[in-house]
Amino acid sequence: MKMSLVVDGLRSDVVAVGELGDDAVAEAAERIAAVLSRSVPGRMLDLLSDAAAELSVELPDGRVEIRVAGDDVNLAYVADEHVGGGESDGDLSARITLRLGEGLKSRVEERASAEGVSVNTFIVRALERGTSTQRSRGAGVGNRLRGYGAT
pLDDT of residue 28: 95
- Alpha-carbon distance of 9 to 12, in angstroms, equals 5
Contact 41, 3 (CB under 8 A): yes
pLDDT of residue 137: 43
Per-residue pLDDT of the chain (151 residues; tens, 9 = 90+): 888 899 999 999 999 999 999 999 999 999 999 999 999 988 888 888 888 888 888 887 888 888 888 888 888 888 876 544 444 555 667 778 788 888 898 898 888 888 887 888 888 888 888 876 654 444 444 445 555 555 4
In the chain, which residues fall in CATH 1.10.1220?
83-133
pLDDT of residue 86: 47
Cα dihedral sign for 68, 3, 60, 145?
positive
CATH fold group of domain 83-133: Arc Repressor Mutant (1.10.1220)
pLDDT of residue 135: 46
DSSP code per residue over the chain: -BHHHHHHHHHHHHHHHHTTS-HHHHHHHHHHHHHHHHHHHHHHHHHHHHHHHHHHHH-TTEEEEEEEETTEEEEEEEEPP-TTTS--GGG----------HHHHHHHHHHHHHHTS-HHHHHHHHHHHHH-SSSPTTTTTT-SS-S----
Contact 147, 66 (CB under 8 A): yes
Contact 83, 132 (CB under 8 A): yes
Q: Could you count the other beta carbons within 10 Å of the beta carbon of residue 125?
A: 19
pLDDT of residue 136: 45
Cα dihedral sign for 89, 50, 64, 145?
negative
